[in-house]
Amino acid sequence: MDRTRALVQSFGDILRRLTYRETCTGPSLGPQLAPKGRKRERSDSEGVASKRTVSSNISNSEVEQLSAGKELENSPPVTSILDVKDEDEAKDAVLETLWNEKPSGIFDFSAERARRWASAVDLPEGLYNKAEQDIFFRLAMRGFEPIIPRRWRHDFPTLPSTLFADQNDDEPEPLIRALKPTQTYAIKSLSNLFSLGGRVRDHRILGLSPEILIKKAIEKYINWALNDVNLHMESETPQLHLVRTLDEGETTLTAVTRLNQRLQSMAIQYNKVMGMTVIGNDHSSADSRIKEEDHVLTENQDPRVYPLLIGFLICGHMVTILTLGTDPSSTTNGADSKFMFNFDLEESGQDVWNSLAIAIIVMKVRDTMLQLAKKGICGFGQDSQCESVLDEDV
């Protein structure tokens, strides 16, 4: 009964509006469902069906009230005929705007790239050292510079073409690449990294914490990167990177503090191995110590190679990147690490860009280790020949 009454009120309101429109503008053609100039003509069968539907839901007494121009009970009051007319015209204007609306504005790749470039290089003086500036620039320019080999194009067909580097001798090597003859493991490792965001969202649906999943994915990609260039380290070799998650019951602030302390310890260990320990803020003692040992070290053991220490802090589905320099002339004992970047692996639509951020940072760590290995510093070494493994695709 209530449903029938609601239908009666709805159709009554429509008929009442049509009656007022006929009074103002003459015979009505019914509600305008298309914008002006695109009115839809109704067939006879549709008109008969509409009349049959209205008559079957409205009683005879209510039809007489509508014909006499009276309002139905509990129907919304109409203050003025002009108000109804203005409301209809407003609806027609909105429909016409939506009908004629076309996509305006085309993405200007060159302009956006220039804007990204300007914001990436416009940093406060003294905020980052040279290595940190390079990483910050790479992260800011994701998607606007080629960092993947062109030969991987068919393995990642959904990626934009701007990410793939041309195979020209004049062009520098892309940042993300494989040095072994086989490309299969490199492609598979990057593909697994691209799927990390989806797996993190699956953990959220299941009510599981994704921290261990993210940590294993990052460490797995690091292991591939080091194995790809046949890097090996001695047992006493100081680490250049650290991946950390929150302990049970640990707050984010406590985790950041402990990661910062661990990076500081790694910097002290590296300087100790190199024989360049800085005391307090006195940089002159460090410089003199370096000059005294220059005659002892060979040319292949250049003491002025100062790697950048990088820490990954995983808090739930968030990953934060902290960096700490080891140059004794610009870093003092007890200097805090610097915030570089953070991203949400649970955010939809950002899986590729978040994964590329992780890959870029891992490649930077690998390049630093290769530089140390070529100079034979701090126990880093590299096999003279890479393993020639037949590509599975071949």
Query: Residue 53 carries which side chain, given as an amino acid letter?
Result: T
Backbone φ and ψ of 289, nearest 5°: -65, -40
Beta strands in the chain (DSSP E): 148-149, 164-165, 231-233, 241-245, 308-315, 318-325, 338-344, 380-382
Q: Is the pLDDT of residue 197 over 80?
A: yes
Q: Whole-angstrom Cα distance, residue 26 to residue 226?
A: 82
Q: Report pLDDT digits (tens) over 224-281.
A: 999 999 887 877 788 899 999 999 889 999 999 999 999 999 998 888 877 654 444 4
Residue 219: per-residue pLDDT: 96
The mean pLDDT of the chain is 74
Quick check: 88 pLDDT over 80? no
- Pair of tokens at residue 17: 């509006």
- The answer to whether 301 and 243 have CB atoms below 8 angstroms apart is no
Considering only CA atoms, which of 305, 304, 306, 264 is closest in space to residue 287? 304
Residue 252 and residue 323 in contact, taking contact as beta carbons nearer than 8 Å: no
Confidence label for 333 from pLDDT (cuts 50, 70 and 90): low
Residue with tokens 């490792």: 189
> Is a pLDDT exceeding 50 seen at residue 186?
yes
The yes-or-no verdict on residue 24 having pLDDT over 60 is no
Single out the residue of 307, 308, 302 nearest to residue 290, CA to CA: 302
- pLDDT of 164 reads 93
Tens of pLDDT, residue by residue over 335-354, are 899 999 899 999 999 999 99
Secondary structure class of 351 (helix, strand, coil): helix
If you average pLDDT over residues 145-166, what whole number do you get?
A: 92
Please count the other Cβ atoms lying within 10 Å of the Cβ belonging to residue 89: 12
Mean pLDDT, rounded, for 45-73: 51
Highest mean pLDDT pick, 120-124, 126-130, 209-213, 335-339:
209-213
Residue-by-residue DSSP string for 352-392 = HHHHHHHHHHHHHHHHHHHHHHHHT-TTEEE-SS---PPPS
| Alpha-carbon distance values, 133 to 56, 316, 323, 362 (Å) | 75, 27, 11, 16
Residue 174 CA from chain centroid, whole number: 21
Residues facing residue 342 across a β-bridge? 320
CA distances in angstroms from 104 to 100, 160, 190, 216, 342, listed in the order given: 12, 22, 36, 44, 33
Q: DSSP secondary structure string, 115-147?
A: HHHHHHH---TTSS-HHHHHHHHHHHTTTSS--
The answer to whether 128 touches 321, Cβ cutoff 8 Å, is: no
Task: For helices 196-206 and 351-375, give the axis angle rounded to 10 degrees.
Answer: 120
**Mean pLDDT computed over 82-93:** 54
